[in-house]
Amino acid sequence: MDYNYSSDAAVAGATTGMIVGLVIGLALCVVMIVASVKIFQKAGKPGWHAIIPFLSNYDLFDLAWGNGILFLLTFVPVANIIVSIMLYIKLAKAFGKDTGFAVGLIFLPFIFLLILAFGDAQYVGPDGVPAGAPAYPQQPYPQQGYPQQPQYQQPQYQQPRPQQPQYQQAPQQAPQQPQYRAPQPQYQQPQYQQPRPQQYQQPQPPQPPQYPNNQPQ
C-alpha cells in the first residue's frame, strides 16, 4: 500500500494555516471591538453599539463625519476604498490628532485604534471642531492695492437698566456755639383812660369896691 506523503503534508499545512489565520483574524476582530467600545465611550456613545455591525458603522461615521448615514457609501464598489481612507483621516481630526496619526490608522488600524482608545486623546468633534462652533472661521479677504476695510459689527441691543434713586447724604454742619442776646424790653400796649368830666363852678357875684377910711365922705 503506497501513501502519498507530499499531498498529506500539503493538506496538513493548509489546515494549519487556515487555523492560524482564523485565530489571528478572531484576535484582530476582538481587538477592533475592544478599541471601538473604548472610542465610543470617549465620544459619549454607548459602548455596546460597537458589537452591532451596522450600528457600529453608523456611530463611527457620526463621530468622524457628523452624519452617520454616510456609512452606506461603504457598500459602493471602489468608492468604499476612498470613503474608508477619508474616514480614518476625519477620525484622527475628531480626536485632535494630526495627519501622521491618520496615516497610521490607514496602514496599521489595529495598533493605532488601540492607541486612540487607551491613550490620552479626547474627543473634540467632527473634523476637530467643537460642537456649536463654525467649521470654517470667517476671515476677511485682504484686497490687493486697497486698504482693508473694517468689519461691520452689528450693534448689540442692551436693555436699559432701571436707574436706582441716588440718595445724597446731607452735609454735616459743624456745631455752632449758642449766641447770647441782651433781653429786649417788652412792648406794653398803652392803656386808654376815659377823660374825666369837668366840674361846673358857679360864678361868684361881684363885690362892691372898698374905699379907704381917709377919703372924704
Q: Assign 3-state DSSP to the chain and report helix, strand, coil percentages, each to 5.
A: 45, 0, 55
- More confident call, 155 vs 25: 25
pLDDT per residue as tens digits for the range 102-120: 999 999 988 999 999 998 9
Q: How confident is the model at residue 38 (pLDDT cuts 50, 70, 90)?
A: very high
Instruction: List helix spans (H) across the chain.
Output: 5-42, 53-65, 79-94, 99-107, 109-118
Render pLDDT for 148-206 as a digit per residue (tens, 0 to 9): 666 767 767 677 676 776 656 666 666 676 665 666 667 677 676 676 666 666 767 76
Q: Nearest to residue 59, comparing CAs of 100, 27, 87, 99?
A: 87
Please tell me the distance from the alpha carbon of residue 12 to that of residue 16, in angstroms, as a whole number: 6
4 vs 51: which has the higher pLDDT: 51
Rounded to 5 degrees, φ, ψ at 11 are -65, -40
Q: Over pLDDT 90: what percentage of the chain? A: 33
* 94 close to 102: Cβ distance less than 8 angstroms: no
> What is 147-192 written as a DSSP string?
PPPPPP-PPPP-PPPPPPPPPPPPPPPPPPPPPP-PPPPPP-PPPP
- Each residue's pLDDT tens digit, 60-70: 999 999 899 99
pTM (whole model) above 0.75 = no
Mean pLDDT score of the chain: 77
- Sign of the torsion angle spanned by Cα atoms 101, 35, 59, 54: positive
Contact in structure between 145 and 112 (CB atoms under 8 Å): no
pLDDT of residue 143 exceeding 60:
no
